[in-house]
């Protein structure tokens, strides 16, 4: 029996859900349960896994348990980029086959998400507007954008290289010097999409919200403890991202990061007319640790995502948001002087799970116990596809993409804390200093 000592806390700061209508969560588990399958975690991975299991095994009973509520974990706190193109590439073409595989996996995930958005008419501002990958400095262009261009050329993927005025006319502000536009990515309100996916699960999935798992036993039988009931299941899928170590899974292999986002209030018609550029766009920075992700959303707000940090404590004091919000406001005022007086309405944070070698935690970790975690910050595409594929693997359903996903490899072992803390902090400081002009 493993005691889960840290469970997620919802600090009610998520700006994406605050701009949505109120939603009634599904009831928490309040009795003992025996099911064929239990999936823990209703992020991109857990939602995709529960749906695919239900499709593969229509006669089976499936419980999906979530510590918080739909769209309030990282799945609803991200920047809302559903990214189909390789944009974190190395400096050579050696990763080409991995890049090609990524595109295949990502597009399969996007097709699955789009099918559900259409089928259930999910109102999430689904916006197939593509995305920009942008740099400020010559170093960012040389080390990230130029290798990315070579990979796109080799993959024969369409893109547009934009410099100076051409880029500024597209986005309406001048901070970034160069960008690569790729047309296949989709932008969404991530909380709205997560809620929509959770509220339209197949009938043989029962979704329990506000139901944290506090103890997990894998043998001689699978048994989970929650505050008001236990769950005994034939098979278990653990889809809890950075919390996997709490279940005794992939300990010393996952690196938890905290990233922060802010949304301004909605721009008035008059303010929108003062802002040049397209009415909806999104850009990701050359260096994700240092630079900012920025969006003009379909509903006419500006999003800024920055301040990524190593965050092993998995808890954040609400007072820590004030300096981040002030920093995002300063960036906004500096970048969009024509919008003087527009204020940031909400600032929040969420967790990203990465590994040292970009490996993904995917597979059977004990008899009848499976996990899919660690998408290295690409939750909408890698998280969704890993959820679909872990369900196929666990239910014995053939899918050639399982081998493609497994080829990514497992997360490599990390040094124990406090050596890990020192190492990751040193690496962050180096990245921040070396790419300081990308900030």
List contacts with ligand FAD (CB under 6 A): 4, 7-8, 40-46, 65-68, 73-75, 77-81, 212-213, 239-241, 243, 259, 261, 305, 350-352, 373, 375, 377-381, 383
Shortest separation between residue 313's beta carbon and ligand FAD, angstroms? 15
Q: What is the 8-class DSSP label of residue 85?
A: S
Which is closer to ligand FAD, CB of 179 or CB of 379? 379
Q: Are 135 and 178 in contact (CB under 8 A)?
A: yes
**Residue 320 DSSP class:** G
Enumerate residues 6+ apart whose C-beta is below 8 A from 45. 239, 241, 372, 373, 375, 379, 383, 384, 386, 387, 390
Q: Which is nearer to ligand FAD, 101 or 271 (CB)?
A: 101
Q: Shortest gap between Cβ of 84 and ligand FAD (angstroms)?
A: 11
DSSP 182-246: ES--EE--HHHHHHHHHTT--TTEEEE-S----EEE-SSSEEEEETTEEEEEEEEEE--GGGGGG
Closer of 42 and 105 to ligand FAD (Cβ): 42
Task: Give residue number: closest CB to ligand FAD.
Answer: 43
Of the two residues 43 and 179, which places its CB atom closer to ligand FAD in the complex?
43
Taking every pair of Cα atoms in the chain, the longest distance, rounded to a whole number of angstroms, is 65
Q: How many helices (H) and strands (E) in the chain?
A: 13, 19
Dist CA 20 CA 44 (whole Å): 19
146 vs 230 by CB, closer to ligand FAD: 230
Provide the β-strand partners of residue 237.
39, 370
Closest CB to ligand FAD among residues 178, 211: 211
Cβ at position 48, least distance to ligand FAD in Å: 8
Please tell me the distance from the alpha carbon of residue 61 to that of residue 262, in angstroms, as a whole number: 39
Q: In whole angstroms, how close is the CB of 404 to ligand FAD at the nearest point?
A: 18
Cβ closer to ligand FAD: 40 or 167?
Answer: 40
DSSP 127: B
CB of 46 to ligand FAD, least distance (A): 6
When the beta carbons of 180 and 271 are compared against ligand FAD, the nearer one is: 180
Q: Which long-range contacts (CB under 8 A, 24 or more apart) does 332-340 make?
A: 332/262, 332/264, 332/302, 332/304, 334/175, 335/173, 335/174, 335/175, 335/294, 336/172, 336/173, 336/275, 336/302, 338/274, 338/275, 338/276, 339/267, 339/271, 339/274, 339/275, 339/302
Least distance between ligand FAD and beta carbon 12 (Å) = 14
Q: Residue 175 CB, nearest distance to ligand FAD (Å)?
A: 19
Which structure tokens are listed for 242? Answer: 């950075």
Tell me the C-alpha distance between 105 and 84, whole Å.
Answer: 9
What is the nearest approach in angstroms of ligand FAD to the Cβ of residue 6?
8
């Amino acid at each position: 029996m493993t005691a889960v000592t840290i469970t997620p806390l919802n600090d009610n700061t998520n700006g994406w859900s605050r701009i949505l209508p109120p939603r009634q969560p599904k009831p928490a588990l309040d009795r003992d349960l025996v099911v064929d399958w239990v999936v823990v975690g209703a992020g991109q991975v857990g939602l995709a896994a529960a749906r695919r299991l239900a499709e593969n095994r229509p006669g089976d009973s499936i419980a999906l348990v979530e510590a918080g509520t739909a769209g309030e974990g990282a799945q609803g706190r991200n920047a809302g980029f559903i990214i189909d193109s390789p944009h974190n590439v190395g400096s050579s073409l050696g990763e080409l086959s991995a890049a090609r595989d990524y595109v295949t996996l990502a597009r399969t995930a996007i097709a699955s998400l789009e099918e559900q958005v259409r089928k259930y008419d999910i109102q999430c501002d689904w916006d197939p507007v593509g995305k920009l990958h942008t740099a400020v400095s010559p170093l960012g262009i040389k080390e990230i954008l130029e290798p990315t261009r070579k990979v796109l050329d080799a993959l024969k993927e369409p893109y547009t290289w934009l410099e100076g005025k051409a880029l500024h006319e597209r986005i309406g502000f001048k901070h970034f010097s160069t960008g690569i536009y790729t047309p296949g990515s989709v932008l969404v309100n991530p909380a709205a999409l997560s809620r929509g996916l959770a509220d339209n699960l197949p009938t043989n999935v029962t979704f329990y919200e506000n139901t944290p798992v506090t103890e997990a036993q894998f043998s001689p039988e699978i048994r989970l403890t929650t505050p008001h009931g236990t769950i005994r299941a034939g098979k278990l899928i653990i889809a809890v991202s950075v919390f996997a170590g709490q279940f005794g899974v992939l300990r010393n292999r996952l690196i938890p990061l905290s990233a922060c986002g802010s949304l301004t209030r909605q721009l008035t018609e008059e303010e929108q007319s003062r802002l040049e550029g397209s009415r909806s766009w999104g850009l990701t920075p050359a260096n994700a640790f240092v630079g900012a992700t920025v969006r003009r959303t379909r509903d006419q707000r500006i999003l800024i995502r920055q301040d990524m940090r190593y965050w092993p404590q998995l808890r954040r004091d609400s007072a820590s948001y004030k300096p981040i919000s002030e920093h995002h406001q300063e960036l906004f005022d500096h970048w969009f002087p024509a919008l003087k007086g527009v204020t940031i309405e909400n600032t929040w944070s969420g967790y990203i799970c990465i590994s040292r070698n970009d490996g993904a935690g995917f597979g059977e970790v004990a008899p009848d116990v499976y996990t899919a975690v660690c998408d290295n910050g690409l939750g909408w595409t890698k998280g969704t596809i890993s959820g679909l594929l872990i369900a196929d693997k666990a239910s014995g359903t053939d899918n050639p993409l399982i081998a493609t996903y497994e080829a990514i490899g497992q997360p490599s072992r990390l040094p124990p804390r406090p050596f890990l803390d020192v190492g990751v902090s040193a690496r962050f400081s180096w990245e921040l200093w070396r790419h300081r002009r990308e900030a």
